[in-house]
Structure 1
Amino acid sequence: MLERMEYFELTIYKCCYLILAIEFDDYDNVVSQKDFEQQEILYMHLQQSINHIISNQSGIIDVRMDRDFALLLSSDNENEVNILEEAYSIGDRIIETLSKNSISISIGISEVTCDFEQIGETFLHALDALKYKFNLGTKQLINYEDIKNIKKIESLELTDIQTKINEILLSGNEGLASQFVIKLFEGFEASASKKVVRNTCFMIIMCIQNAINEFSITFEDIFGKEELIWEKLMKFETIYDVKMWLRNVICFTINYINKKKERRGHQLTDEIACYIEEHYREPITVNSIAQALFYNANYLNNYYKAETDTTILDYLTQVRMNKAKKLITHKDNYRIQDISLMVGYKNEAYFRTLFKRWTGLSPKEYKLAASK
């Protein structure tokens, strides 16, 4: 390959080599949405700017690689420091020049190699460095040597995320949401790839979706269109943008839930009371009540306890016991077995035990006491 370069009179030295991979920031929005002619004009402008900067320097070859540009720097001595300094100088000037023309780019810098046969692998390393633009931000010079030994973060368990999201949404506390996001992204900022961050955020959004189902809420209720959530996640260019977006999604969700709680307030407890009043004779449970009212059972029970300082089951028992008291003292002189069935208990022995626990008297003792 060196011989072919010399044949085409491309100046290249034979001691040290280094690659600069140049990439448009926010490629999907800035480049891919343009038509072919506009894309070519943009690339031509980039090419001209690069050529102007390197025109007076030897040992540099520029190559367009589909959506990226690459600069091959070569040196006639084995001093790696010199070629690295040259790479940083060229990179800074390219970023600064294009920035003045409202074009944002980032540059990945490969390691220095003295083996020309390793140029292909070296180019891939420069591209690998660019992947960390997501973590470090746009308009960056990113050296492969700085990121190659970064330890990958451990994956998060879906069940752990779901538990935490449920806790945050139930708390109604935006501060907890911020703490969760900050802690999560502390593990991301130095090491996680765009794919890892997006996949994790995807899991978190799924967990939020599962959690709000318990409140009978959908993303469309909160954000208008559910698709907007997923579309935005796929278009973010930096980890900071994703971090702010995720925090906002959780906080907006908390605000919506809090407002819904305020609106429903006593209405929901009244709905529970009405349902129990109408169905206490039946073998109802917290699950069947929640299903009838279109709520998650755990959420409904926690909400009711927070509002009334008692559980739904205790309230159901209270209603049944009050009904039983009236039936025990009724003039029709119902049998205890019949009363048990009339208030929703098929097992008479269980009813007797529960009645005594609730009133301190057996049904017979209660009837005698009431008749005096």
Structure 2
Amino acid sequence: MPKLLIVDDETIFRKGIGLMIAEMQSDWSVVDEAKDGVEALEKIELLQPDLIITDIKMPRMDGIQLQYIVKERYPHISCVVMSGYNDFQYARESLKLGAKDYLMKPFERAELYTLLDRLQAEMAVEKEQLTTNKKDKQVQSQMRQHVLAGLLTGSIHHGETELLDNVGVQFPLPYTSCLVAKLDRDSVTDERYYQLNPSLFSVYIQQFIQESIEKPLLGYVFILNENEVVALINHEDTAASFADIEKLTNRIRKGIRGQSNFTISFGLGGPVKDLESISKSYKEAGLALLYRLVIGGDRLLSSDTIAEMTMEKLEWHTADWNLLNQYVQEGDLVNVHLQANQFVTKLCQQWRDPELIHEQICKMLLHFYELAVNLTVVKMWLQGTDMKQVLMEIYSISSSKELSERCQKLLGDLSVCMVNRKKKFVTSPVELVARYVEEHYAEPITLNMMAEIAYLNPSYLSSLFKSKQGQSFIDFLTEKRIEKAKAMLLHSDEKIQVISDSTGFTNIRHFNRVFKTLTNRTPTEYREGKQTS
């Protein structure tokens, strides 16, 4: 039974279409409704309809944007668009995106029924063909993605033309230029950015670029990562093609800005003649994009535009991080975010060289890394990564807003670690460890684990524990487990194996041996109340 989702911001249309289809007495099933593209995407992920009937003009995300994303993420789902008489130019755009048909509002019942009957018949044929070809296409698509990404890293060379042919990638023209597109984060409100899955912006940008590339430019467009869309443009002579690429990017930026109300920036690498050099063009595109930090986004950036800029050599004294340092250690999260944002914003406004901006931010982060090392909170702060990876990530960010958000997040997390550290030291480290053993005696526990919890060196903790408790940590842990086992032996009917497992012993032999050493009885004798001779 084919499933259908209706998307329209007017309730009366959604309900009316649903009623028409219910009265059709066909196999079609209306699985749900949505009032705009954002809500539709949530329901598409959950319900996986076969067909979407969508209006074009809707708030938050219109039908055109919805189609771009559906085409990329759910290519098996068909779309039919609805439009008023004055919206036909949008309907035409939808047909270019692969819409199966369009319905002009208001439409007749018979028109809808004829369309659905036709689509159901087409779907039956397509489903049969899809079953045959789906696996091969998926494999080829994944291989193509790997090959294209490999070109950017320089791991694929000119002699591997057979590999390129196998995945349908060809560069017949003499030159190739790398074009990298990124969302201008400051053109999107936080509410809109986090309401959607951020990766959807890249999906939309990829589809828009792919649809916009026309002859004489040949391009392969793909998403390299969540924040980066890459187009490899294969072209003729360099001078004329630069003008064509510039026109292309201007057209794309204007289209996205007009249709979707956000902006993007492009970085363009220089033209290269061989496959091995595509990685060089990609690096140049990334370097050009860094200059968004100082001249803003919504533009095409290339080595030529950078060369035209006048680099100001500013005198900059060592940054004063005392106030920020104070807020971090106090756990004042609001002021940490405020000061971090002010620091990054001031750098980007006053400096004209992205490399120096990144350098100052990395110096600031290394200052706080040293603080985290001294207070033994690095592991808690960085959560499985290391400072080298953090600094590499900082150098890859070319948006002042993203740079500010990343610094706010890093320093905010460190501030929370400071607060938690203070809370844990309200009691002494020995009391903290003793309480942990009391609550977690059934779990695997080691001295090293306790040292991490108490933020102390293991050998120092061992010495401190013995001086305060009058016994070693291991003896204390063992006695605690035996105490719990004795209580269970007296007050429960559990098997001894179960009691051994429940009190943290690795095996029953070890449990029996330790129990007898400390009590002069076996667990069975203790339960029965018998004295050993």
Shorter-chain TM range is 0.3 to 0.5
TM superposition score normalised by structure 2: 0.30
Q: Which has the larger radius of gyration?
A: 1
Greater relative CO (CA pairs within 8 A, separation 6+): 1
TM-score by length of 1: 0.41
